[in-house]
Each structure stands twice: as structure tokens, then as C-alpha cells.
A and B are shown apart, each in its own frame.
Chain A
Amino acid sequence: GAVVSQHPSWVICKSGTSVKIECRSLDFQATTMFWYRQFPKQSLMLMATSNEGSKATYEQGVEKDKFLINHASLTLSTLTVTSAHPEDSSFYICSARDRLGSQVETQYFGPGTRLLVL
């Protein structure tokens, strides 16, 4: 149980285009999902917290107009990187917590999406 999927796993796009990444909880309901960014050989940096039916909460220094987050259902959150530039190239990871599970504080992670902006 507690499986989180991400799509796509790999995306290459041209500079100036927008890219959407989906995060789904497959076998549980997730009122809260998290989006992280990870640079090579570094730790995970929390970008934003996504709450179902409400606006996302962004961490300090993260541009909310650049990284649009939508959490329209209990099993789906999307991250859209708008007008992507090469510096947005990174590994993006989502996670979700099972609001009805026995360990509501535990985050379950998706497999990540590698974004390369040319």
C-alpha cells in the first residue's frame, strides 16, 4: 500500500515552454501533498505544500507564479513549471501523506521526474 506515482518520469522541453508534472496517490487519499526539488548529490528542498481544494503554500524563495500547483482531488496534485528555463532543470519529487492511515505523519514519495530544459 501507500504507493505514489509521478508522470512523466522524464521530460525534455525547450526554453520558454511550460511543463506539467502529475503526482497521484494510487491506493490512498492524500489531502496533503508536497513538492520537492533535488539537485545532483544534494538533499531534497521543499518547494511547496499542496492541500486539496485550497491554495498551495510555498516555501520562502519559491516563485509561486513560476511553479503553479493544483490539488484538485484527493489523489492528484500537479506542478506546472511555467516558461521553463535551463536553470529549472532538476529532479522534482512529490510526496503524499495518507490522511486515514495509521501513520499520518509519514510521507510516501513518488519516483520523481527529471526535467531538462534546453
Chain B
Amino acid sequence: AQTVTQSQPEMSVQEAETVTLSCTYDTSENNYYLFWYKQPPSRQMILVIRQEAYKQQNATENRFSVNFQKAAKSFSLKISDSQLGDTAMYFCAFMRRRTYKYIFGTGTRLKVLA
């Protein structure tokens, strides 16, 4: 069975600084997808970034980028130029190809400090 681990329950970062959230997963599959979602205080889940396992190139979305290490089964999220609006719970999710079911990690609560 697949598992997703987020080892940092809470983190904080100064505004405009860079922070990296870690995520590791365990799977014997070769074809899968990985996601980062953020859940702000409103509790609306918002897609931050996605990565297809067969793509070696790390995904990037504006200030958000990932470091995808397939062999190490690691999928960290880097937030550059942190903004107050980035304060949220961040969840890493794994999806085995064609199952469409997500397995979520336990989340990392990020607080951006002014």
C-alpha cells in the first residue's frame, strides 16, 4: 500500500524568504502523479502544483517549484519570495495512475511572518 509522509507538522518563514516543505512517499508503482495542495483558513483546497512521475523535469508554477527525486521517493515543495497569503496547511498527495484516488499526507502548517 502506498503511504505519504510529511515530517514537518509546522513551519514558519519570514515574508520574502524561501521555504521548503518535505514529502516522501512509498510505492512500488512506476506510473503515478504527485500533487501539492494548500488549504488556507477558509479550508478551500487549492491545487498548487502537480508532477507526473514519468517526467524528469521538476514542475514549476510561478513562485512554487518542486524537487522531485524519483529514486529517493521524495517530492519537496519550494516556495520562493514567501507572501502572507501563503499561510496555510499544505498537503502532499499521491495518485496511482488511472486509479484517480488520492492518498494525502498529514500536512504541514506553514505560517508566513511579517
Tell me the A residues contacting B by CB distance below 8 Å: 32, 34, 38, 42-44, 46, 49, 91, 93, 95, 97, 103-109, 111-112
Contact = CB atoms under 8 A, between A and B. Distances in A.
Interface of B: 33, 35, 37, 42-47, 50, 91, 95, 97, 100-102, 104-107
Contact of B43 (A42, A49, A107, A112): A112
A107 B94 CA distance: 12
Nearest to A112: B43
B101 A44 contact: no
Nearest to A97: B100
Contacts of B91: 43-44
Contacts of A91: 43
28 contacts: A34-B102, A38-B43, A43-B106, A43-B107, A44-B104, A46-B101, A46-B102, A49-B100, A91-B43, A95-B45, A97-B100, A103-B50, A104-B100, A105-B33, A105-B95, A105-B97, A105-B100, A106-B50, A107-B100, A107-B102, A108-B47, A109-B37, A109-B44, A109-B45, A109-B46, A111-B43, A111-B44, A112-B44
A108 to B, nearest CB: 7
